[in-house]
Amino acid sequence: MEEDIILQVEALSSQMIDDIKKIVRCPSVEGEALPMAPFGKDIAMTLEETLKIAEKLGFETHNLDYYIGWAQYGEGDDYIGIIGHLDVVEVGEGWKHPPFSGYEEDGVIYSRGILDNKGPIMACLYALYAIKSLHIQLKRPVRILFGCDEESGFVDLKYYLKHVSPPIMGWTPDCKYPVVYGERGRAVIEISTDEKNVDEFFSFVNTYFMNAKMNGETLGVDFYDEEFGMNEMRQYKLKHQHQSIIFSVTFSYPASMKLADLIEKIQDKAGHFKVECISHFEPVRFDPNCPMVKALQKAYETITHQDGTPVTTTGGTYAKLMPHIVPFGPSFPGQKGIGHQPNEWMKVDDLIKNAKIYALGIYYLANL
């Protein structure tokens, strides 16, 4: 059966690439909230176009108030959920080709969102279509979810979980391979003071952040564990607001570390400056030998013939909020620094390879 599924993905690959290009040509940057367009008209239009493609493929579809949409194969309550997103970050400068052109050159497609995350979630849709078109009956229904606010705060997923139960297993194709069994915690910490203390405050920021190692060693927060690695400080921001000076920093911390310990150590160094956590996502960790992770490892190894030992990540995905899912693809080992950059790209061959991996992943998970 696996061979039939792989061959069917190959047979559908040209059609899949054409539809991926249609969706990456949609300029789905967040805009002004409107009725029936909570994240702006461009994202709403992109969701409509995506669901039209799913309907053309014969899927049952649903649009949940333009927060999120999905295509489903099979009936039942305990579903396999695969969630990606259609919204993209701002275009920025430095593009060689128009950022929403779907431009292809030498087997590579360039467009904002081709990797993050339209190409991969459309590959998941076609992976499911390959199974559907072969009339393969799965033990559990499979739902491909198209999020609309991953880049700006997961409001889409929060809305979904208020109205719909989560999947029992699944993944988000918005990270890397092999299958990721754990994500670090992520906390945004703000340190602030009255503007009259600006010189003292800047000295503190320079000493403990700007001129310090990214592992937080100077602050005493250089936590480490073997699975997740070293704590990291990133995304420094400084602003002047309402007669206060505010410095914010994002910590990507290992699962063995406690947020309370992090804040306590920062406060010890900050003295009379105010320290507070303004945003926090707990670490995510699954047993690397659980059936879900092992099934996805098998899918990856079957297609790539590479070592699929599960890994952890410093990144953050929908898995932070959606229960029971792991990050899985789309970037292969050695592919870094592509998403959110000018000339964002993905190889056509890699999109097809992803679809094959995802098709087997669906087949294995839905039959556990």
Sheet with 103-105: list strands edge to edge: 103-105, 108-110, 345-347
The span from the CA of 129 to the CA of 248, in Å, is 45
Nearest to 2 by CA among 351, 304, 360, 298: 360
Beta strands (DSSP E) in 48-165 are 60-64, 68-73, 80-85, 103-105, 108-110, 142-147
Q: How far apart are CA 149 and CA 152, in angstroms?
A: 5
Q: How far apart are CA 111 and CA 351, in angstroms?
A: 14
- Asked if residue 330 has a cis previous peptide bond (ω within 30° of 0), the answer is yes
DSSP characters over 205-257: HIIIIITS-TT-TTTT---EETTTEE-EEEEEEEEEETTEEEEEEEEEE-TTS
Helix (H, G, I), strand (E, B) or coil at 87: coil
Closest to 231 measured CA to CA, from 206, 247, 212, 245? 212
Annotated catalytic residue within 42, 87, 149, 156? 87
For residue 250, count other CB atoms closer than 10 A to its CB.
Answer: 17
- Show Cβ contacts of residue 7 under 8 Å, excluding neighbours closer than 6 positions: none
CA distances from 297 to 178, 300, 343 (A): 7, 5, 30
What region does 359 belong to: left with phi over 0, alpha with psi -120 to 50, or beta? alpha
Give yes or no: 87 in active site: yes
Q: Of 52, 89, 51, 94, which Cα lies nearest the Cα of 69?
A: 51
Cβ 278 vs Cβ 285: under 8 Å: no
Choose, from 42, 116, 149, 150, the residue flagged as catalytic.
150
Tell me how far CA of residue 93 lies from CA of 99, 215, 298, in angstroms.
Answer: 10, 30, 40
Let me know if 1 is exposed, middle or buried by CB neighbors in 10 A (0-12, 13-18, 19+).
exposed
Catalytically annotated residues: 87, 150
